[in-house]
Amino acid sequence: KNHEITGFREWLKTVFCVKNRISVYFLIAAGLVLYFGTHMAVSNRTETTLPFYMFFLSLPGNLIIGGLEDAGWTYVLQPRLDKKFGFLISSALIGIVWVFWHIPLFFIPGTNHCEGLIDFGMFNVQVMALSFFRGAIYKAAGKGYVFAYVLFHTMFNAAFSLFGPVTATWAGTIAANAIIVLFSVGIAAVYHKPKEIT
């Protein structure tokens, strides 16, 4: 009634609301293809570090480790900041929060971040760009916005475990993330309500 969650059951029901327009799932798939496809085109590399079936096997773990972060950022911050500041500013602000959230990973031994497998600068560019994609999915997905981005984040992390080395160039990082931001702005423009884009 007052847009507040009253219990864990209601939270689960909201976070895992899978009912959505088919176009939203198309946008999620398109985001993945654009991001990793651009990296492959720029780096001229297509090899994977793991067999492709590992993408599917790693989805449950990536849901818990990464995807469910968005039960916080997307669920709590996105609607409030978007309502107050609009798409562009809210996406940038949440991106900054997301960057700081991940900084400890670069100091925890055993993580890909700390072991140098993920470049700090490239990672932060990616985080900021994907924050705009999160904002765009929020605009497009309606009531199922949390699950839509949880799904994207989960699939993105699973794909990254396969294509990680392909993404390790600055040229690819700049190109792929610029395309994601432009794609996100386009989505937000298509799905905006009057007086919402700032």
Q: Residue 70's pLDDT is what?
A: 82
Quote the CA–CA distance of 74 and 70 in Å, as a whole number. 5
Cα–Cα nearest to 130, from 162, 159, 165: 159
**pTM of the prediction?**
0.89
Q: Residue 1's pLDDT is what?
A: 40
Q: Residue 4's pLDDT is what?
A: 63
Count Cβ atoms within 10 A of the Cβ of residue 91 and give its class: 0-12 exposed, 13-18 middle, 19 or more buried.
Answer: buried
Look up tokens 């981005």; give the residue.
149
Residues with Cβ within 8 Å of residue 59, at least 6 apart in sequence: 154, 155, 158
Integer-rounded Cα Rg, in Å, for the chain is 16
Q: Where are the domains of the chain?
A: 48-191
Q: Residue 33's pLDDT is what?
A: 98
Q: Residue 2's pLDDT is what?
A: 41
Q: Compute mean pLDDT per 10 residues along the chain, 198 residues long, and list them.
A: 66 85 96 98 92 93 83 83 95 95 90 83 96 95 90 94 91 98 97 62
Amino acid letter, residue 175: A
- Which phi and psi angles does 139 have, rounded to 5°? -65, -40
Q: Residue 186's pLDDT is what?
A: 98
Cα–Cα nearest to 94, from 107, 83, 106: 83
Q: Residue 26's pLDDT is what?
A: 97
